[in-house]
């Protein structure tokens, strides 16, 4: 296959490499048979680079002085100039890169301010992408990817770009939509919304959710909403979900956390509204029924420890309670039991902190 007489004329990239273009210019006519050619991109001395295969020819053999524009889909979405070929996002390196076609073009640094591009003589000028049809334009300003909320409760939705959300205060709902987004909920109980079902995503610890629609970084996000499931991930000490699962586990058994997501919802609502742990444990005591001190101790001990209390253990804890010679209410003793490391182990708190806990 003969070498086509085209050379690099202009290269452009924004900072996150989502909007990029390469402009070639022809040196002679009859250079239109591009199908089967390859355009290489990589880091100089960085090993094997990326290869873009061209699958169609140009529309005319009149190629002398004509431009050919290769660009990312996000460039195309700007509607400034229609690219002749679509290249993948991030195809062009920003530093110490090269492009290989009919020649190897090396460069040390691309401007990434959104306005300027690099020319073939390594000068920097305002970008001016031009396609084979002669259409030309300029990227004046790229949309600001940052979406800022208020100190109230906001409902924020992103774009197809990589957005940065700064929600501020309030009970915010944030839907990043497409792209690799950073979601900072700020203060308050904030929910990240994902459009598809839970099984198409991967939760990496509680800071990243990865899936078909992108990889989202979560900062100060307490709840995740999928199309088929809700998860609470505020499971650090003192947070609503942490307190909730501890109390449910101690009062009703660890299995109840998974079998009754509606119990989790009740607990979250209590703590989100500012109720104290003691107020929540009192409601749990009411739900357990009017248990005697003996039955209460046996139930909570088994739930927390995973075995029945010995006579000595039973008598000791019963003696702490009002009505049995002690000064603690059942709610206070349940509070103490729920916050123990034994209970954390019983409910597998570490595991829940990795996966989140389902609520209805």
With cut-offs at 50, 70 and 90, classify the pLDDT of residue 2. Answer: low
Bigger pLDDT: 148 vs 343: 343
Decide: helix, strand or coil at residue 219. strand
Burial group, residue 132, by CB count within 10 angstroms (0-12, 13-18, 19+): buried
Q: Which of 39-43, 209-213, 248-252, 276-280 has the lowest mean pLDDT?
A: 209-213
* pLDDT of res. 170: 93
H/E element, 182: strand 182-184
With cut-offs at 50, 70 and 90, classify the pLDDT of residue 102. Answer: confident
* pLDDT of res. 207: 86
With cut-offs at 50, 70 and 90, classify the pLDDT of residue 278. Answer: very high
The arithmetic mean of pLDDT across residues 162-184, rounded, is: 91
* pLDDT of res. 235: 96
With cut-offs at 50, 70 and 90, classify the pLDDT of residue 1. Answer: very low
* Cβ neighbours for 16, distance < 8 A, ≥ 6 positions apart: 145, 162
How large a percentage of the chain has pLDDT more than 90?
82
pTM of the model: 0.65
The arithmetic mean of pLDDT across residues 271-294, rounded, is: 97
């Amino acid at each position: 296959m003969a070498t086509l007489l085209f050379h690099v004329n202009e290269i452009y990239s924004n900072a996150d490499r989502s909007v990029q273009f390469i402009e070639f210019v022809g040196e002679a006519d009859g250079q239109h048979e591009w199908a089967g050619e390859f355009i290489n991109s990589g880091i100089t001395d960085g090993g094997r680079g990326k290869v873009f295969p061209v699958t169609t020819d140009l529309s005319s053999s009149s190629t002398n002085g004509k431009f050919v524009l290769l660009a990312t889909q996000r460039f195309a979405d700007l509607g400034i100039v229609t690219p002749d070929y679509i290249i993948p996002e991030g195809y062009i390196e920003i530093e110490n890169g090269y492009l290989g076609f009919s020649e190897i073009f090396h460069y040390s640094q691309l401007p990434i301010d959104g306005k300027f591009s690099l020319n073939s003589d390594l000068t920097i000028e305002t970008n001016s992408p031009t396609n084979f049809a002669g259409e030309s334009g300029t990227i004046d300003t790229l949309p600001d990817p940052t979406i800022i909320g208020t100190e109230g409760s906001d409902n924020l939705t992103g774009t197809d770009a990589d957005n940065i959300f700064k929600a501020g205060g309030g009970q915010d709902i944030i839907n990043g939509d497409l792209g690799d987004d950073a979601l900072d909920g700020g203060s308050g109980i904030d929910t990240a919304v994902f459009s598809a079902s839970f099984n198409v995503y991967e939760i990496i610890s509680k800071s990243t959710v990865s899936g078909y629609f992108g990889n989202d970084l979560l900062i100060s996000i307490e709840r995740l909403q999928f199309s088929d499931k809700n998860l609470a991930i505020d499971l650090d000490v003192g947070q609503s979900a942490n307190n909730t699962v501890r109390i449910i586990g101690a009062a009703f058994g660890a299995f109840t956390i998974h079998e009754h997501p509606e119990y989790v919802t009740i607990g979250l609502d209590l703590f989100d509204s500012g109720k104290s742990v003691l107020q929540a444990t009192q409601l749990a005591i009411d739900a357990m029924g009017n248990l005697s001190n003996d039955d209460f101790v046996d139930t909570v001990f088994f739930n927390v420890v995973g075995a029945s209390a010995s006579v000595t253990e039973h008598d000791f804890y019963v003696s702490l309670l009002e009505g049995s010679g002690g000064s603690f209410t059942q709610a206070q003793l349940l509070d103490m039991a729920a916050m123990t490391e034994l209970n954390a182990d019983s409910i597998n708190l570490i595991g829940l902190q990795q996966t989140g806990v389902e609520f209805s």
